[in-house]
Amino acid sequence: MISRELAVALREAGLTWRLGSGDRFALDLPEEIELEAEAEIFTVSEMTIEARTTPSGTDLAFNGTTEWALDAVQLSEAVWLPREDQLRELLRGTFRMLKRLPDTFVVEIEIAGESMRFEHPEPAEAYGQALLALLRRAR
């Protein structure tokens, strides 16, 4: 799983979350609202956390199965933590390879003929770093 910091950087670089069952997210609430739940990772599921379209946008509704009292949060108050397969898919045609080395993983992408490599002990984090570079170049 990617770090919260990388997930926030991806969002700020323009990554758009199209909600799907099984997606993971963390809460990203304003500083004046302190909840222990901010450190938790949640999964979108029709049974426990479902996306609801409201006049103000999309809400993530908690269906009474969580340990603390929270009815719903707006999508803007959540940060998507894309899975490794989702990150690879988002790289689309730029993705060239994933290589495992003894202590790290290397993701290689190609943008406009330029090869770029990203290394991290977690493959999802390497994919996320590659996607962040792609998003930043697109801006």
Domain residue limits at 133: 84-138
Same domain, 120 and 58: no
Domain boundary residue, one of 57, 80, 103: 80
Same domain, 40 and 72: yes
The pTM (predicted TM-score) of the whole model is 0.81
Same domain, 56 and 111: no
Number of domains in the chain: 2
Same domain, 26 and 74: yes
Same domain, 74 and 95: no
In tens digits, what is the pLDDT along the chain, a chain of 139 residues? 899 999 999 999 999 998 888 899 988 866 545 555 556 888 887 666 777 777 877 777 776 555 445 567 778 888 999 999 999 999 999 999 999 999 999 999 999 999 999 999 999 999 999 999 999 998 7
Sign of the CA dihedral running 19, 110, 7, 45: positive
| Whole-number pLDDT of residue 28 | 80
Rounded to 5 degrees, φ, ψ at 90 are -70, -25
